[in-house]
Structure 1
Amino acid sequence: MPLDLEEQEQLDQLKAFWQKYRNLITGVATVALFAYATYSGYQWWRNSQALEASKLYETMVSAIAKGDKEQTLRAADDLQKDFARTPYAPMSSLIAARIASDAGDSAKALDYLRWAAKNASNDAYLALAKMRLVSQLIEQGTEKDFAEADQILQGKPIAGFEALWLERRGDWYLAQKKNEEAKTSYQDAWKKLDQAKEFPEEARRLLKVKLDAVGGVAQ
């Protein structure tokens, strides 16, 4: 059935439009397909990585149960190296830091904590790594350690962990015998902690002990 003049004109316009923009249209479609394929591939890779990381983490847990420090730390190192983007890597680094610290290897413990504080994508692990790193540095007690701890504490607190941030600042002051500043930080931490009902009672008791030590009052 022959086209009438109006239909023929529309067809000619469509052909002209396609001739003018076909490279752009084809390019956009190609990019969209490539993006979808990349996303699908990334999802598969991420799931595969998580599965492999979980197996290695189970190996680490078994090593801990056996009291095998070397295998435990080796598993943590492998998780850092091969599965850094999974939650298992910072989680294992925090555990390894505790084991290294208990074994008297504070330098190794600091390395694990620094790695977790830099690479953890989960806010809880990130906050825990930074707070434990600050505590370890304060315990070391050198001028360089205090400076590194101060730099961390000057950063923006992780949301939900403001009270602990202030408490560590109080610890930082107290270790340098700046009791008044420590008292102020502890009291500010207490106010924040009082608003955060999800924190365990043990955290409140510990902060209360620190407040009492510097002559502060829990308000």
Structure 2
Amino acid sequence: MPLDLEEQEQLDQFKAFWHKYRNLITGVLTAALLVYAIYSGYQWWRNSQAASAAQLYETMISAVVKGDKEQSFQAADDLQKQYARTPYSAMASLVAAKIASDSGDAAKAIMYLRWAAAHASNDGYLALAKMRLVSQLIEDGSTQDSAEADQILKETPVKGYEVLWYERRGDWYLAQKNTAQARSSYEAAWKQLDQAKEFPEEARRLLKVKLDAVGGLAK
């Protein structure tokens, strides 16, 4: 059916508009589709990575249960190299550090804890890695290790884990034979317990033992 004059005018206007702005419109649509494709692809990749990392972590746990240290370490190393952005890599490094520490290999334990402290994406794993690293460094006892522990403790505590920071600072001072500062740090940790209801009871008792050992709470 032939177009009337008004319809023909609208069509001509649309053609003129399209001719003038078609490159811009096409570019915007292409960019939008590209962003969506990238986002969808990233989501798929992240889910795929998480699934693969979970399988490898299960392999590691099976090795731990069997007492196969070498396979456990290998799985932790593979998770670090292949799936560093997933929580499983930090989890595996913490487990590997515990195995190494229990085996008397402090150097390997420190290596795994340093990696977890540098790469953990979860606040809980990050705080645990840093505080376990501090404990291992204090236990190792060298001047260099003590300086590294001191540097970590000067960082801003991970939110929600201030108790651990203060307690480890007390441990550090105690290792330096500075009882007064150790007591002050343990007291600060004890006072923070009111905001840390989830703090394990066993850990509370241990902190109280440490505090009592350096003179107890100030009167």
Does residue 3 of structure 2 align to residue 2 of structure 1? Answer: yes
Which residue in 2 is equivalent to 1:139?
139
**CA distance in 1 between partners of 2:170 and 2:123 (Å):** 22
* Matching residue's letter, 2:178: K
- Residue by residue, what CA displacement relative to the aligned partner does 1:42-91 show, whole Å, maximum 9, x if unpaired? 12112221221122111111111111111111111111111111111110
Equivalent residue, structure 1, for 2:103: 103
- Is the 8 Å Cα contact of residues 190 and 218 (structure 1) preserved in structure 2? no
3-state SS of 1:2 partner? coil
Aligned partners of 2:148, 2:31: CA distance in 1, in Å?
45
Which residue number corresponds to residue 216 of structure 2? 216
- Structure 1 residue 152: Cα displacement: 1.2
**8 Å contact kept, 1:211–1:218:** no
**Contact 1:57–1:75 at 8 Å: present in 2 too?**
yes
SS in 2 for 1:215: coil
Q: State the secondary structure of the residue aligned to 2:84.
A: coil
- The AA in structure 1 aligned to 2:77 is D
1:177 counterpart = 2:177: yes
1: distance between equivalents of 2:161 and 2:8?
69
Aligned to 1:165: 165
Residue in 1 aligned with 2:69? 69
String of CA shifts for 1:154-207, please: whole Å, max 9, x gaps: 111111101111111111111101111111111111111122111111111111
Name the stretch that deviates more: 16-25 or 127-136.
16-25
CA distance in 1, matches of 2:192, 2:10: 69
What corresponds to 1:60 in structure 2? Answer: 60
1:23 is aligned to 23
Q: Does structure 2 conserve the Cα–Cα contact (< 8 Å) formed by 1:208 and 1:218?
A: no
What whole-Å deviation, never above 9, does each CA across 1:88-128 have from its counterpart, x for those lacking one?
11101000001011111111111100111111101111111
Cα deviation 1:126-159 (Å, max 9, x = unaligned): 1110110111111111121111112111111111
What is residue 205 of structure 1 aligned with on the other side? Answer: 205
Shift of residue 9 of structure 1? 5.5
* TM-score (norm: length of structure 1): 0.92
Letter in 1 for 2:3: P
User: Any stretches of 5+ residues in structure 1 without a counterpart?
Assistant: none
Q: Write the distance in 2 (CA, Å) between the matches of 1:151 and 1:138.
A: 12
TM-score (ref. length: structure 2)? 0.92
State the match for 2:89 in structure 1.
Answer: 89
Q: Does 1:122 align with 2:118?
A: no
SS in 2 for 1:110: helix
Sequence identity (%): 72
Q: Which residue of 2 aligns with 1:148?
A: 148
Partner SS for 1:163: helix
Q: Look up the SS of the partner of 2:128 in the other structure.
A: helix
- Equivalent residue letter for 2:45: W
